[in-house]
């Protein structure tokens, strides 16, 4: 069977589609790059905003045009909240809800997935792992919070975590396949273990991975600020844990945060960021911000903007609030005009760009470990290698060798428009 896999949205969706690819290959099926060559197409959709929902529908239509003969199986958050809309699209053979997503491959192929059959998984994936450097691993799904703007809780259900031993085994396998970095993902990663009563389950998981696997780099995806205690930062004494924290703030104004039902405030967030920076030198802190949440006045936005400036994030995803039916915020009054949202978004984007440059600039001249991820072209002098430092600065270096999947000490030389120009220290390249 030939399968084409596509995903939209967050890293969790990416982790899920990667896991499906591994399962299909383990069962002897072929994952193809071109939709036109596939018998079946699986689409993992997103519904975080109206735009994401529209893109999900658009992608299904586009894939159907590319291959009208293929049966399309649609899953993910948009399929969860609007199965009827999806079902009417041409080519859609079935819609699989999020709770059954983990069994999608079994359902489609009719073959059970053998998670303990390590050897075939290793063999099947080894070829396809060439050029793959960073694996996303889903360790948790669902969320028990009730942020008023969030459709994800509706789409993903209550929080549930994978057993530690299961995650350790998967990371070991991925490392054997050649992956150099594992990124732990979840809808609400910080709540890992809460469903079995452990308040510091994520810290235990990270410790287990650092102790029981040899994966060279471990990275955490998004963490809600209220899930982290200052003790958590002790984990970074181990240099294999990447110095990058993505802490979604959503708004820098206490009144807006309250309406969003976020369990943090300016003061708490400031304290957390200060503690993190103190304990982890060179830490990159990034965030998500929503502008134009219902009732966000000019004054609230001004407070938010000032606080965001003070936090000096090294990167920021700025979203314009989009009303999602079924959420508490959808029933709130005082919607913000689209034109106002656009202006606020543009202001924060500008702030984000400046802060990103400042962070890169502070790191210039330093020698940092870079995991080279891909080649973006070639010049007369060599290949253009692109990679990321452990603290998530995008770098590129022209080098006679393809460095993909190597980790090299690398000097950061100069800020360029799309990345920092860098020099891998040749005598210390070990790959
Ligand atoms: S913490 Fe809030 S924003 Fe994040 S998934 Fe849960 S409800 Fe949604």
Number of other CB atoms surrounding residue 356 within 10 Å: 19
Q: With CA atoms as reference, report the closest residue to 352 among 311, 314, 398.
A: 314
Task: Indicate if 171 and 206 belong to the same structural domain.
Answer: yes
Task: Indicate if 280 and 344 belong to the same structural domain.
Answer: yes
**Is residue 120 in some structural domain?**
no
Q: pLDDT at position 157, please?
A: 82
Task: Indicate if 187 and 163 belong to the same structural domain.
Answer: yes
Of 57, 79, 109, the domain-final residue: 109
pLDDT tens digit sequence for 201-253: 999 999 999 999 999 999 999 999 999 988 999 999 999 999 999 999 999 99
Task: Indicate if 220 and 295 belong to the same structural domain.
Answer: no
Q: Identify the band that residue 106 occupies on the pLDDT scale cut at 50, 70 and 90.
A: confident
**CB 360 near ligand 1, within 6 Å:** no
Handedness of CA 305, 281, 220, 157 (dihedral sign): negative
Task: Indicate if 195 and 222 belong to the same structural domain.
Answer: yes
Instruction: State how many domains the chain has.
Output: 4
The DSSP output letter for 222 is: -
**Is residue 126 in some structural domain?**
no
Answer yes or no: are the C-beta atoms of 304 and 253 closer than 8 Å: yes
| Pocket test residue of 224, 225, 263, 293 for ligand 1, highest count of atoms within 8 A of CB | 224
Encoded tokens for 101: 């997503």
Which residue's C-alpha comes closest to atom 8 of ligand 1? 150
**CB 143 near ligand 1, within 6 Å:** yes
Q: pLDDT at position 351, please?
A: 96
Half-sphere exposure of 78 (CA within 13 A, CB side): 28
Task: Indicate if 292 and 309 belong to the same structural domain.
Answer: yes
Number of other CB atoms surrounding residue 177 within 10 Å: 20
CATH number at residue 310: 3.30.750.200
Q: With CA atoms as reference, report the closest residue to 25 among 86, 87, 114.
A: 114
Distance in Å, CA 147 to ligand 1 centroid: 6
Beta-carbon contacts of 324 under 8 Å, excluding residues fewer than 6 positions away, are 47, 49, 50, 149, 150, 151, 330
Task: Indicate if 372 and 336 belong to the same structural domain.
Answer: no
Burial class (CB in 10 A: 0-12, 13-18, 19+), 165: exposed
Q: With CA atoms as reference, report the closest residue to 118 among 65, 38, 177.
A: 177
**Containing structural domain, residue 166:** 131-242
At residue 115, the 3 state secondary structure works out as: coil
pTM of the model: 0.83
**Is residue 125 in some structural domain?**
no
Of 242, 275, 298, the domain-final residue: 242
Of ligand 1's atoms, which has the minimum distance to the CA of residue 261? 2
At residue 393, the 3 state secondary structure works out as: coil
Q: pLDDT at position 428, please?
A: 56
Task: Indicate if 144 and 238 belong to the same structural domain.
Answer: yes
CATH number at residue 136: 3.30.750.210
pLDDT at residue 130 is higher than 50: no
**Is residue 118 in some structural domain?**
no
**Is residue 238 in some structural domain?**
yes
Answer yes or no: are the C-beta atoms of 125 and 118 closer than 8 Å: no
B/e letters for 219-237, b = 16+ CB within 10 Å, e = fewer, are bbbbbbbbbbeeebbebbe
Q: How far apart are CA 49 and CA 319, in angstroms?
A: 9
Task: Indicate if 299 and 371 belong to the same structural domain.
Answer: no
Answer yes or no: are the C-beta atoms of 311 and 351 closer than 8 Å: no
Answer yes or no: are the C-beta atoms of 346 and 334 closer than 8 Å: no
Q: With CA atoms as reference, report the closest residue to 296 among 331, 348, 339, 340.
A: 340
Beta-carbon contacts of 231 under 8 Å, excluding residues fewer than 6 positions away, are 200, 203
Q: How many residues does the chain have?
A: 431
**CB 284 near ligand 1, within 6 Å:** no
Q: Identify the band that residue 284 occupies on the pLDDT scale cut at 50, 70 and 90.
A: very high
Burial class (CB in 10 A: 0-12, 13-18, 19+), 207: middle
Number of other CB atoms surrounding residue 164 within 10 Å: 19
pLDDT tens digit sequence for 45-87: 998 888 888 999 999 999 999 999 999 999 998 988 889 889 9
**Is residue 201 in some structural domain?**
yes
pLDDT at residue 122 is higher than 50: no
**CB 187 near ligand 1, within 6 Å:** yes
Task: Indicate if 228 and 303 belong to the same structural domain.
Answer: no
Encoded tokens for 222: 């998004």
Of 168-172, 229-233, 307-311, least confident by mean pLDDT is: 229-233
Encoded tokens for 290: 């929503």
**CB 81 near ligand 1, within 6 Å:** no
Q: pLDDT at position 48, please?
A: 82
CATH number at residue 40: 3.40.50.2300
**CB 245 near ligand 1, within 6 Å:** no
Task: Indicate if 229 and 299 belong to the same structural domain.
Answer: no
**CB 161 near ligand 1, within 6 Å:** no
pLDDT at residue 311 is higher than 70: yes
Task: Indicate if 335 and 389 belong to the same structural domain.
Answer: no
**Is residue 114 in some structural domain?**
no
Q: Alpha helices of 34-158 — where are they, by DSSP H? A: 50-66, 77-81, 83-87, 104-109, 118-126, 152-156
**Is residue 350 in some structural domain?**
yes
Of 211, 242, 273, the domain-final residue: 242
Q: Which residues pair with 111 in a beta bridge?
A: none
Q: Which residue has the higher pLDDT, 297 or 21?
A: 297
Q: pLDDT at position 111, please?
A: 76
Of ligand 1's atoms, which has the minimum distance to the CA of residue 144? 6
């Amino acid at each position: 069977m030939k399968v084409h896999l596509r995903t939209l949205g967050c890293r969790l969706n990416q982790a899920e589609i990667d896991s499906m690819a591994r399962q299909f290959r383990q069962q002897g099926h072929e994952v193809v790059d071109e939709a036109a060559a596939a018998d079946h197409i699986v689409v993992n959709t997103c519904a975080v905003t109206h735009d994401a929902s529209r893109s999900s529908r658009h992608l299904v239509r586009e894939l159907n045009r590319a291959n009208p003969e293929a049966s399309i199986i649609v899953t993910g958050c948009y399929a969860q909240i609007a199965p009827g809309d999806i079902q009417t699209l041409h080519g859609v053979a079935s819609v699989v809800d999020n709770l059954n997503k983990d069994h999608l491959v079994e359902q489609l192929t009719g073959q059970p997935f053998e998670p303990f059959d390590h050897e075939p998984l290793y063999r099947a994936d080894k070829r396809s792992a060439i050029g793959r450097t960073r694996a996303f691993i889903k360790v948790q799904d669902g969320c028990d919070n009730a942020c008023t703007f969030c459709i994800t809780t509706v789409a993903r259900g209550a929080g549930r975590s994978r057993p530690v031993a299961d995650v350790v085994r998967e990371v070991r396998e991925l490392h054997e396949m050649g992956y150099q970095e594992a990124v732990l993902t979840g809808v609400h990663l910080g709540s890992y273990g809460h469903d079995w009563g452990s308040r510091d389950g994520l810290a235990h998981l990270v410790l287990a991975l650092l102790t029981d696997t040899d994966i060279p780099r471990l990275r955490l995806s998004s963490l809600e600020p209220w899930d982290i205690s200052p003790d958590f930062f002790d984990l970074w004494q181990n240099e294999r844990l990447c110095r990058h924290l993505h802490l979604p703030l959503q708004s820098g104004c206490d009144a807006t945060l309250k309406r969003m039902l976020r369990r943090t405030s300016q003061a708490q967030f400031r304290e957390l960021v200060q503690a993190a920076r103190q304990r982890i030198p060179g830490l990159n802190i990034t965030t998500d911000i929503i502008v134009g949440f219902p009732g966000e006045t000019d004054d609230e936005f001004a407070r938010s903007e000032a606080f965001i400036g003070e936090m000096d994030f090294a990167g920021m995803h700025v979203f314009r609030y989009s009303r999602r039916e079924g959420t508490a915020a959808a029933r709130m009054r005082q919607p913000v005009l689209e034109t106002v949202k656009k202006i606020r978004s543009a202001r924060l984007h500008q702030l984000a760009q400046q802060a990103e440059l400042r962070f890169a600039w502070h790191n210039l001249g330093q020698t940092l470990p870079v995991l080279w991820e891909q080649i973006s072209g070639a010049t007369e002098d060599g290949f253009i290698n692109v990679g990321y430092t452990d603290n998530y600065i995008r770098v590129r270096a022209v080098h006679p060798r393809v460095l993909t999947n190597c980790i090299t000490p690398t000097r950061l030389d100069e800020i360029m428009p799309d990345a920092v120009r860098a020099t891998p220290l040749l005598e210390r390249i070990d790959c």
